[in-house]
Amino acid sequence: MSLQTIDAKRASELIKSGAVIIDIRSQDEYKRKHIDGAICIPANEMIAEKIPANSTIIFSCLSGMRTKTNANHLSECACNCSEMYILDGGLNAWEKYGLPTISNAKCSLDIMRQVQIAAGSLILIGALLGFTLSSWFYLICAFVGAGLLFAGLSGFCGMAVLLMKMPWNKV
């Protein structure tokens, strides 16, 4: 069974009729903001046993892109469901229609976004200082680049571990 896209208005009607909405984003993203009543099952943790059988399922993410990218995997995991859909435009479209969401502004950004912001800032600062003050500052760029390469190859991100220990990530 393939996954069809539906708009937020139709999704809302299906939910009122008993459909289940599954948010495939990470727990951190879900905690920050999600559709009221959505169940969080991150795409990388999705298995058939976690999805309610014989029900109508609507998969959602932030913009709809992640659900479309993972459509084959989601479809395989939801094989015991009567109907399956992708929320076109995800949470962004849901909010655009003015439908209810649960927000927690006190939650920190997703840890990978924090890594991207920190790494990007360090590389930009290193490049600017290297260009204006001393070429030795280019070592900052090289160090951060080597860390990102190592994280990609090994699956261990030291910057993420460090950022998780920061006070704003203690909830």
How many folded domains does the chain comprise? 2
Identified catalytic residue from 61, 77, 81, 157? 61
132 lies in the same domain as 165: yes
Residue 8 burial by CB count (10 A; 0-12/13-18/19+): exposed, middle or buried?
A: buried
61 flagged as catalytic = yes
97 lies in the same domain as 36: yes
58 lies in the same domain as 136: no
Structural domain including 129 reads: 111-169
Q: How would you label 39-78 residue by residue, b for 16+ Cβ within 10 Å and e otherwise? A: eebbbeebeeeebeeeebbbbbbbebebbbebbeebbebb
| Domain at 51, CATH number | 3.40.250.10
45 lies in the same domain as 89: yes
pLDDT per residue, tens digit, the chain (171 aa), is: 568 899 999 999 999 999 999 999 988 888 888 999 999 998 888 777 787 778 899 999 999 898 998 888 888 887 777 789 999 999 999 999 999 898 887 777 778 888 999 999 999 999 999 999 999 999 999 999 999 999 999 989 999 889 888 888 775
31 lies in the same domain as 51: yes
80 lies in the same domain as 124: no
0.85 surpassed by pTM: no
